Every structure is written in C-alpha cells, then in structure tokens.
Amino acid sequence: KQEVTQIPAALSVPEGENLVLNCSFTDSAIYNLQWFRQDPGKGLTSLLLIQSSQREQTSGRLNASLDKSSGRSTLYIAASQPGDSATYLCAVRPRLESGGSYIPTFGRGTSLIVHP
Amino acid sequence: DTGVSQDPRHKITKRGQNVTFRCDPISEHNRLYWYRQTLGQGPEFLTYFQNEAQLEKSRLLSDRFSAERPKGSFSTLEIQRTEQGDSAMYLCASTLGTGGRYSNQPQHFGDGTRLSIL
C-alpha cells in the first residue's frame, strides 16, 4: 500500500526566504506526482504536475523535482511572500500494469506561514 | 472556464438525516472524483467517474454512501442515515482524461462542501 509522508508538518519563516518542502512515497511505481496548495476552508489548487519520466517542473517561483528511485519529491519556493501562506500537499498516482486500483494517495500536507 | 463548483458550501444536519451534495465539473472534463478530507489530513479518495460510468469505489464508501453522474456532467453524492464520523469536507475534482485508465492532466478541485453532524 502506497504511503505518502510530508515533512515538515508545519513551517514558519520570514518573508524573502527560499523554502524546500519534502514529499516521500514508499512505492516508486508511480504514474505522476502532483503538488497542490490549499487555503483554509477551500479546495485544492494545482501547482505542478510531474510525470514519472520527468525530473522537474517549474512555474514562476516554484520548482518541483522528482527522484522516483529514492521515492522523493521536493517543492522549492523562491523568495517567499506572505501570500504563499497555505497548506501544501503532494499526491501520488500509481502506475499499474493492468487492472488494480487507480486511487491517488495524498500526504497530510505542510502548513506554511510566511510572516512579513 | 468557471472551475469546479460544489453546492452547498456548508451543511449542518442532525445525526440520522440524509444529505445530498452536488458537484458541477469543468464542462469539457470527462472524469470526476469525490474525496473526503478531515482536519489535518490529506484528501481520501471515495469514488471516480469517467463520463457516466462509476469506475472505482473506495472501501471507505460504505453502503450508506451513493454517488451518481447520470448524464456524464454534474454528479451527486448522497449520504443516508448520517453519523458523527461523516463530519468532514467533501471535495470534488475533475480532469480531462486523454485515454486509457490514466490521465496526465492535473486535477481541478472545487471548494468543497463542509458537512457537520450534530
């Protein structure tokens, strides 16, 4: 059974710092990995999607990397801003040869506070 | 593109009552997912539709839960005889499936329906 762990669970930093959020997964047979942002009381907003064949994806100040063999992904946030304050979740989709489950597995998220 | 919309945003009901939630996906998306999220946890998969066909159901989805997507557009999730443990945020997501069982398109989420059982 796939398990997804996100470390740290919570993070508080001053504005302007560069951040690294970690996501690890136990089964490396994945199809893709997706990073989301969730604001309090809201749904999830997709940030970056990395296919299993890719090493990284970038969008603005965000960069996500994937190392499938070690079961890790990192989300790098450059020059953090107070507006980046939210919970960041990663989700892993399994790769299946045939049949089986198609259920994506989410981590519990990292709660980020960026203070001015 | 108006995004995924869910209705109602909040639902408070007494234990034992039935509740129904609605999800309207992004119009061209053929795949629709329901998740449940409790405080401090990531979303847990409940069920998944491709067009009108319900293709997967989690073991979390007991026989008190039923989901439909009759015309392959909007979907409803009904919970019968609600229990305290059903209190959670119910999230809907949609995506455009490009073939086979896999989709390399990102999921787009609604803002959820928060259910509180008294």
- pLDDT tens digits, one per residue of A10-33: 999 999 999 999 999 998 888 889
Q: Considering only CB atoms, which chain B residues are within 8 Å of A42? A: 111-112
Q: Considering only CB atoms, which chain B residues are within 8 Å of A59? A: none
Q: Quick one: which of A106, A94, A116 has its CA closest to A38?
A: A106
Amino acid identity of residue A29, one-letter, is: A
The answer to whether the Cβ–Cβ distance between B56 and A102 falls below 8 Å is yes
Question: Residue A59 pLDDT more than 60?
Answer: yes
* CB-defined contacts A:B, below 8 A: 60
pLDDT given at position A11: 95
pLDDT given at position B101: 55
Band of pLDDT at residue A99, cut at 50, 70 and 90: very low
Cβ atoms A20, A7 nearer than 8 A: no
Band of pLDDT at residue A104, cut at 50, 70 and 90: confident
Question: Residue B100 pLDDT more than 70?
Answer: no
Flag the least confident range among A5-14, A15-24, B41-50, B92-101.
B92-101
Cβ atoms A89, A75 nearer than 8 A: no
Tokens at A55, concatenated: 């090493």
pLDDT given at position B60: 78
Band of pLDDT at residue B59, cut at 50, 70 and 90: confident
